[in-house]
Structure 1
């Protein structure tokens, strides 16, 4: 029997991930003005890899076992590599609201893929919660699009779809790796794989870093240290302790935090429709993370009534 206290470490880790990933959107906006998509992805991954390798050396964490490498390679190429480049590029081609709506098909794809490939199943509460959260994400995205310049393109939509697909594929690939290696190992070597995959952008990164303002470079380093090195590690820790579908549903809280951070940091006052969509996102997360009543608890009451 799994008690609620046992779930708290995973819940805390997932919460850290969600907050840091939400903060990434604010930093990407700043760094993206001076760095191209590929260069920004490489700089972020290089900073994250450096921090993770240092931690592994201090803690004397060795190489992952051979059985973990297929998942590490898959998540490194899809999630750490392709996803970050596609998302950075896509957000330049479409407005933030459109990008948010498209990328938020990712958790749905995670649930479907994990059910098909990992045999996790699709509990009714998870499906209901994801439906509510996705509706909230659409409302948030629509309200953000209304305030934008209407800047969008077919290329941008395609790139955001690629980002959603690679995100889902990376998560599903990572889950089996966590059965054979620790969260720090899987994150570190996945990040290194993504860094190597983005090395073709090294020349561009060096050129842009020479002229980029200091705040943009600091934001890129922040992206590597916190939303990548720390947040991906806490994500892997939580993912090892729950299903991929439920972890994916948790990320629907990200748009809500993004709205709050934009309000506090960028003085962007959210519209009423945006707040309503955020409330739906949180309600859906609460439903998807909840547990159904145990059958024995439900059947016990009629039995007692029958005896009386």
Structure 2
């Protein structure tokens, strides 16, 4: 799943952070990477829309219970509601629904690489919408990301495999939805969404997903949901609710650059696990594309620090 972790992490993190401080983030990266092949398993029994609704419905339930038990549950403020709705509809609902739909046509490892390539949208949108002036390094990072996506997508376009092209388009749409949510958060930097907003974000995502699933697929197959309850438990309560609650707390004390680079581990782990679970081949084009996107992530994360060093 996609995450607001880089956007909500504090920029006043200490310069030196012990390895133990990174353990929760490393655990989250492993869980999120494993979520891609796990979601592929669930799609063998349930439609993409109902799967997405189950994921966020279960995540909302468990996060309400956990935060309630910790006495940290509260209603969003008037200023927080627009951001909560944006994260719920775009980053959670739209991103997951499109990604799950795409998994019917694209292997999970390749899908995770494309879906996490938000740099192809974020930096250009920051310039167009927010009026920011990205540095040369940030534009270079964007170029790396574009090149990586082109390398990964080109084989499908060359053979014009319609279903694969549809899946890749949906993944790019999922990446765009997440990016628009990031832009909304960046436009409202004075408002920080913490872990106590996760139940409401998941609930906001669940309502339209249930409506769309009912309209398109009819009533849910309760028997199928019972059969895949371990998959739903993994993708919802674990990979969405509990992981976000832990990581959003931890990343307040971690350097943003380290957090951004760590997120690159999600598609890497997703790809590795997909080769084991689904015998997905790590082809040359996928390896090169992932390396280019990785260079883009690293360049973006290190751009502020490198810029300060060059100014000295």
The normalised TM-score by structure 2 is 0.74
Point out the structure with max Rg over C-alpha. Answer: 1
Question: Which range is displaced more, 32-41 or 3-12?
Answer: 3-12
The normalised TM-score by structure 1 is 0.75
Alignment partner of 1:284 is 2:292? no
Structure 1 residues 293 and 81, CA, compared in 2 at 3 Å: closer, same or farther?
closer
Alignment partner of 1:210 is 2:210? no
Structure 1 residues 154 and 24, CA, compared in 2 at 3 Å: closer, same or farther?
same
> Which whole-Å deviations, capped at 9, do the CAs of 1:141-183 have from their partners, x for residues lacking one?
567x59x994526654553343222221223334566743542
Instruction: Pick from 3, 14, 27 the counterpart of residue 38 of structure 2.
Output: 27
> Which whole-Å deviations, capped at 9, do the CAs of 1:246-288 have from their partners, x for residues lacking one?
9777644433222212234444452344334433333333322
> Which whole-Å deviations, capped at 9, do the CAs of 1:3-53 have from their partners, x for residues lacking one?
422698997666554433322210111001111011000000011111211
Question: Which range is displaced more, 85-94 or 189-198?
Answer: 85-94
Equivalent residue number for residue 184 of structure 1: 195
> Which whole-Å deviations, capped at 9, do the CAs of 1:204-257 have from their partners, x for residues lacking one?
58632313573x332122111232214444665588789999977764443322
Superposed CA RMSD: 4.1
Equivalent residue number for residue 175 of structure 2: 164
Higher relative contact order (CA 8 A, sep 6+): 2
Instruction: Pick from 49, 63, 67 the counterpart of residue 56 of structure 1.
Output: 67
Report the Cα distance in structure 2 between the residues aligned to 1:81 and 1:2, rounded to whole angstroms: 30
Q: Is the 8 A contact 1:183 1:237 kept in 2?
A: yes
Question: Which range is displaced more, 132-141 or 284-293?
Answer: 132-141
Q: Is the 8 A contact 1:134 1:252 kept in 2?
A: no
Q: Is the 8 A contact 1:107 1:249 kept in 2?
A: no
Aligned length in residues = 295
Equivalent residue number for residue 226 of structure 1: 238
